Amino acid sequence: MKRKHIREIRKGLGIKATEMAQEIGVSSGYICNIEMGRRTPSKQTKLKIESYLRHKMKENQAMIRVVNFDADRLAELMEENDISTTDLSNILNCHYQTVRTWLRKDHKPTTYFFNQLVEYFKIEENELLIFTEEPSNEASVVSKLENLKEKVRNLEELLTTA
């Protein structure tokens, strides 16, 4: 498992990096650097992150926050900037079909391309994301919590091996 999953779990729980950083006693920049793989946390910090995410998972059992890529917003940005699919694929150095699959909502951009889109359009990350909260119908919550628990287990593996 990669450290970007820390970010995925954190965002999936609707937690800002600044909030998590404050709670565990580090800077938000340090959290971002850990998530991006630029810094290796100390054993103590690893344990704090793990404990914090577990605690937040328990708190969020009644409502699940879902984060998805906003393909419609990407299309709007392309239109506003008069950029075709081919133009954007050339800018990002990827195949035009890749961009088309994002726009058709068949696939989501990888973290690398997502960051490139944010940088190119000079926007905040959340402008290309859709945040929805789903009520806790028990079957849905159990399924999503199991998925989050698996990610936390993977995170634990990462933190104990790093």
Same domain, yes or no, for 80 and 44?
no
Give me the residue label for tokens 């287990």. Answer: 153
Same-domain pairing of 142 and 95: no
- Give the model confidence (pLDDT) of 72-123 as tens digits: 999 999 999 999 999 999 999 999 999 999 999 888 898 888 889 999 999 9
My answer on whether 147 and 113 are in the same domain is no
pTM > 0.85: no
Q: Tell the burial category of 83 from Cβ atoms under 10 Å away from its Cβ (0-12, 13-18, 19+).
A: middle
Closest to 71 (Cα-Cα) out of 110, 91, 94, 99 = 99
Residue 22: give its domain's CATH number.
Answer: 1.10.260.40
pLDDT in tens, 21-70: 998 999 989 998 888 888 888 888 888 888 888 888 776 655 555 578 89
In terms of residue numbers, what domain contains 34?
4-62+136-161
Q: Tell which residue, 120, 113, 19, 15, has the closest CA to residue 67.
A: 15
